[in-house]
Structure 1
């Protein structure tokens, strides 16, 4: 018997291409790193500290009042996390959420239509442009939605709800296909 559990990505092997001639693609994104930053710090200052600490490829997403998620595909390096914590000392707190949250990519020309079936957020590009994020509900699950491109979004959900969100998204896509959306 093993002493320590082995890490397995929660959505390992999941892929979904469908809904009106590839109008939607669901993708389990790499379980790299996700940091929750809290404090009275400007995003530009946070971005500079991220670069200094080795998180240059990470993105900053607003997660609430004076709260941000820092997400990236690369695994978390403890020395980088330590450098970020030291750089933000007295300005903000950093909590590693890498093992507690999962990111799902939703893309394709029908991605906005799919997401509008599960949330009340207006995802029109004129209201919700690229780089915008919002904490909302998709069905009964609390999710952060980020627009990452014209027809692409990233959803971040608590790890224990990732499979449920995936199932909800595939069911919404199947229902939309049936409805001829």
Structure 2
């Protein structure tokens, strides 16, 4: 049926390399899977269950008290979601948020400076180590920031705010470039 809505990645092919490729890089990440897991399950136990259902390459990020986001680049089939839901039965609930959230990569030697222009989270590696995540605001937009490497971060945002966040990040990057960072 031609009148049915078609899935279109919000930031399809969006990329930004500011100043030099090493200074600031913004990248729309694949719209793979993003699951919201709620329950009294520890990350180690959740990771073990992810391995059992073929999601070993997914990352686990704290999203609140007894809440986790499980993110990955590969799309998750309905059978995979059913398998994880069954594996976590009695321990946690799983909600597929893949259709409703978008991930943006921010990397480069000036990535912390760029993000500090929009959020109050202390991104110093001694405080916010690799694997850390925090729910925060970037400007007026609610975002989860996860540190994925020394100079790399992943921002997860509601799909309807993805383009606004992308524009805000590009604006902050241009501002940093003008400041000579």
Question: Residue in 2 aligned with 1:121?
Answer: 121
TM-score by length of 1: 0.97
The answer as to whether partners of 2:21 and 2:108 remain within 8 angstroms in 1 is: no
* Pairs within 5 Å for 1:27-176: 27-176=27-176
Q: Give yes or no for the alignment of 1:6 onto 2:12.
A: no
| Gap regions ≥5 residues in structure 1 | none
Contact 1:20 1:177 in 2 (8 A): no
| Aligned CA-pair RMSD | 1.1
The alignment partner of 2:103 has SS state of strand
1:25-46 Cα distance to aligned partner (Å, 9 max, x none): 0000000000000001111111
Is 1:178 the counterpart of 2:178 in the alignment? Answer: yes
Q: Could you tell me whether the CA contact under 8 Å between 1:10 and 1:163 is conserved in 2?
A: yes
State whether residues 63 and 135 of structure 1, in contact with CA within 8 Å, keep that contact through their aligned partners in structure 2.
Answer: yes
* Shift in alpha-carbon separation, 1:88–1:175, aligned structure 2, 3 A: same
**Unaligned runs of at least 5 residues, structure 2:** none
Equivalent-residue separation in structure 2 for 1:112 and 1:128 (angstroms): 11
Shift, 1:176, TM fit? 1.0
Offset of 1:14 from its aligned partner? 0.9
Cα distance in 2, alignment partners of residues 105 and 125 from structure 1: 17
Scaled by the length of structure 2, the TM-score of the pair is 0.97
2: CA distance between counterparts of 1:86 and 1:177? 49
Figure out how many residues of one structure are paired with residues of the other and give that number: 181
CA-to-aligned-CA distance 1:94-113 (integer Å, 9 cap, x gap): 00000000000000000000
Q: How many Å separate the matches in 1 of 2:36 and 2:78? A: 15
Post-superposition shift, 1:130? 0.3
